[in-house]
Structure 1
């Protein structure tokens, strides 16, 4: 019974990984096409009716599943932080992103500008600078921890191909975070290459994040098995 229980838990982890991966891939796509316009960031879709549903549901699912995800058993000899603690940090950060949304201002949308002007905020929407800082820090922590997971946790696999994918995903996630910071600094010097850089780099962070979780959920193995069965 114990072996069967452990096997069921393992299968449950794989399903969680796949779900997180799929949601990561589709979040930027869903909010953009349901919103009908490109906004300054993914978080600004909180202020548009349909995209806000996708944003809230997907980020909440991220948070809850990351909090429930246990991962590998902690090895005190080779690790400084366990999978469980790391995903708990990421999960809490994801929920903070939802419950403390970004500031209504500077969305690059005329319709959202009207909401801001009239202070007719939806749900937990606001125009508060301090809350906006909390949101930005939480979003940064969420993306950073997911990059950390890809590089230092997932790469304990014996599969060299998968490990290479995890490292590439980590590099893309962290490079995206760094580029957001660079573009913010450039703005301070009145250098604006694009007004949509936050959305662009959030997307280039979230998609690799989703890919790494799909790979960890053994999607590549599932696809390979599917084609192998067809050949037989």
Structure 2
């Protein structure tokens, strides 16, 4: 098991990057696209690739706690698989078709981009869905095992996991409806994939921040500020 300081730092890093990702994509490209993955083909692709790669590398190096009696999987196994999944998501991007908005890098070969390769697109979707599922699993099952955690925090962890799974489930259902009825749901609910991804990312980001005891950092900052303010008065 990694020391607690390292664990808290890794968790907070994942949380902060998760909160920043969708905002950076929108601010950089300033155009709403069908999904976060489509920003791979824009100036926002810098942040998309960097942050998702950072997720992967952090999760691969995350040890967590040893498997307890009665547990099926260790923290390390779950985060290692999740890390591999998100790296695959970066290395095999989504297809560039139907972006809803404007893309920049589609007129010539761009990194590993492709226009409409269904097989590569399926691998991208499967790896991304697996990443979200495993992060939801961490929140729902793993983060609540700390006996020192309050009941309110455990409720937050479980709800975060449920929100992540519900978002992924909703996407799967909508994708199925599109295939069966041969319709484009973006015409009904523009960028629905992007918004559901945002919900899922924020759900696991908040869970990792709380698990990383981000509130302790704020308490320390406030205490330091109050101390400095008190010293200035004297």
Give the TM-score of the pair, scaled to structure 1: 0.88
Could you say which residue in structure 2 is the equivalent of 1:126? 114
Could you say which residue in structure 2 is the equivalent of 1:10? 4
The answer as to 2:169 corresponding to 1:178 is yes
Does the CA contact (< 8 Å) of 1:183 and 1:197 recur in 2?
Answer: no
- Which structure is higher in helix share? 1
Structure 1 pair 121/14, CA: closer, same or farther in 2 (3 Å)?
Answer: same
Could you say which residue in structure 1 is the equivalent of 2:207? 212
1:50-199 mapped onto 2 (5 Å cutoff): 50-75=43-68, 77-112=69-104, 115-116=105-106, 118=107, 120-127=108-115, 128-157=117-146, 158-159=148-149, 160-187=151-178, 188-189=180-181, 190=183, 192=185, 193-199=188-194
Unaligned runs of 5+ residues in structure 1 are 1-5
Could you say which residue in structure 1 is the equivalent of 2:218? 223
CA distance in 2, matches of 1:55, 1:146: 18
Q: Give the root-mean-square deviation of aligned CA atoms.
A: 1.9
SS in 2 for 1:98: helix
Deviation (angstroms), 1:126:
1.1
Give the TM-score of the pair, scaled to structure 2: 0.88
Could you say which residue in structure 2 is the equivalent of 1:36? 30
SS in 2 for 1:162: helix
Does the CA contact (< 8 Å) of 1:31 and 1:45 recur in 2?
Answer: yes
Deviation (angstroms), 1:55:
0.4
